[in-house]
Amino acid sequence: MLPRKFTTTRPSDLIYAVTLLALLTLGAPGASAGVSGPVVRLFPTTVLEDIRETGQVAEDMENNLQEVITRLDMQEQLYTESLCQGADGDQGCDRIAKQLGATYLEMLDIMSDRLPEMERAVNNTRNSLESRLRQELGQRTTPTTLQNALLGESGSAKEAERPALRGRSGVRLSDRFKQYYNLVSTNREGASKSLAVVASDIYLDMDEAAHLIAATQEEIGRAALMEQLNQSFGMITPEMAAVVGGVKEILFGESMAENAIAAPPYAIGETDFVSPLAM
Amino acid sequence: MSRLNYLLVALLSTVTLGACTTAQPDHCAVNLRGNLGTAMNTAETKLASGCEYHFNSYFNSLLTIAEANPDTDNKMLFSDHLMRVNDMGVISRRQAEGLYNRYFNIKFVSLQGDYNTCSQTCPVRSQVMSDMQAELHDKELGLMRASADAASFYRADTLLKETDLVLEATCRACSAGKTQ
């Protein structure tokens, strides 16, 4: 389970903020939902519009950062291939390091510009889902009906029809939101058993992402200051590499995480015994 | 009669009386074993002859027998057994349903209620999840080990995880609504 709370005390915490943001925002359902269970309206048009807009904002951020991150990669590769690691006092290496640091600052600037809009979009999605969850699952559902909705009336949904729980997906953030949008826009009037899980999943992700974006914004200023100081000495810090890695992970899904081992498929045979005592 | 003889007589009397009191066999004590259906019949015979208070120990023994002889028919045998015991008046219909569903159904008896989720489940969410976790252990025994129905057990396991996720989100939303 991912950590729910995040506090920032050091400049290097930006790395964790970015990485956690990646972990949290990339968790998503992976398949379409089934069609049984009571109808619960978790995804009205307003929620769908919020999800669509968040995906659009994420795409804009990706487009803005794509070029600078590519440049960072090339500079880092040049630095490594020139055997600059530990080569103190080499003028050529110092120059590459300063260029790399300047590009890094450029990336931080872009993030600093774009994150407020991302924060607003994420907050909107979180708030609208929060309201629907409270009304539909919190106030209009009993524990018994909630369980029935999750299980489906037939209790025989196949594993392949069920959305996966939270986890890394290895896809672009904007594509992830497109998946969210497509998933809920095609099934929003039915399949509440799966959509309850999807809505909960997105809501928890958005809630934590909102906190992490705020924390990241706070840390960007500090990280920028540190890098401006580093520019005086021409250093490449491990933190810089980690932040760049974290941003790439958020936006482009370049994750090294291995996929979890799949659970056995669920299938109930046609001759299943049904007890008169069963709920 | 010497003093030693008195002591011998007293000791002999004590031993004899003690033997009389412990020689009485426990009518309800029975070592259920072998075929599950036969063991259920034995248990039911005992329950019908004044051993109602041994129902729980009989039931646990029957689960142990089923675990040693896993079969998909076992859940049906338990359902029939619980209904007969209910008909005999040993346990109520609600108890029979509770036991059957706890061990042999995917659904959780720990997640039941007639009031809305915000007011009934959220205030005791951690307890509900803890109860469901304990119930999953019983389902592992009933579904997987006794009934050889791994698929249903995995579905129950998934249901528990989904419930955890949905309750976390729903209860957080309920809580946010209160503070607004």
Residues B23-65: tens digit of each pLDDT:
567 788 888 888 999 999 999 999 999 999 999 999 999 999 9
Say how many domains are in chain A: 1
The residue-averaged pLDDT of A143-170 equals 62
Q: Is residue A187 part of a domain?
A: yes
- Residues of chain A positioned with their CB less than 8 A from the CB of B171: 138
Torsional class of B32: left (φ above 0), alpha (ψ -120 to 50), beta (otherwise): beta
Q: Is residue A259 part of a domain?
A: no
Q: Is residue A278 part of a domain?
A: no
Among chain B residues, the shortest Cα distance to A126 is held by B173
A125 versus A172: the higher-pLDDT residue is A125
Q: Is residue A132 part of a domain?
A: yes
Which of A196, A199, A278 is closest, CB to CB, to B100? A278
Shortest alpha-carbon distance between residue A149 and chain B (Å): 10
**ipTM field:** 0.79
The residue-averaged pLDDT of A152-161 equals 48
User: Which pLDDT does position A110 carry in this prediction?
Assistant: 87
Instruction: Please give the helix or strand (H or E) that residue A127 lies within, else none.
Output: helix A91-132
The residue-averaged pLDDT of A123-152 equals 92
% helix, strand, coil for chain B, step of 5:
75, 0, 25
Which of B150, B159, B166 is closest, CB to CB, to A200? B166
Tell whether the model's pLDDT for residue B69 goes beyond 50: yes
Q: Is residue A131 part of a domain?
A: yes
- Residues of chain A positioned with their CB less than 8 A from the CB of B174: 134, 138-139
A156 versus A110: the higher-pLDDT residue is A110
Which of B106, B113, B152 is closest, CB to CB, to A143? B113
- Looking at residue B46, its amino acid is K
Q: Is residue A196 part of a domain?
A: yes
- Using a 10 angstrom Cβ sphere, with 0-12 exposed, 13-18 middle and 19 or more buried, the burial of residue A50 is buried
Residue of A121, A197, A192, A135 whose CA lies nearest to A166: A197
Domain that holds residue A127: 13-252
CB–CB contact B117 A264 (8 Å): no
Shortest alpha-carbon distance between residue A7 and chain B (Å): 20
**A82-133 pLDDT, tens per residue?**
888 776 778 888 888 888 888 888 888 888 888 889 889 989 999 999 999 9
User: Which pLDDT does position A30 carry in this prediction?
Assistant: 35
CA gap B171, B174 in Å, rounded: 5
- Residues of chain B positioned with their CB less than 8 A from the CB of A267: 151
Q: Is residue A218 part of a domain?
A: yes
**Which residues have C-beta within 8 Å of that of residue A160, sequence separation ≥ 6?**
A31, A265
The residue-averaged pLDDT of B88-96 equals 96
- Residues of chain B positioned with their CB less than 8 A from the CB of A197: 162, 165-166
CA gap A129, A188 in Å, rounded: 13
CA gap B65, B43 in Å, rounded: 12
Q: Is residue A23 part of a domain?
A: yes
Which of A266, A268, A275 is closest, CB to CB, to B104? A275
Among chain B residues, the shortest Cα distance to A137 is held by B170
Residue of A98, A107, A141 whose CA lies nearest to B119: A141
Among chain A residues, the shortest Cα distance to B125 is held by A143
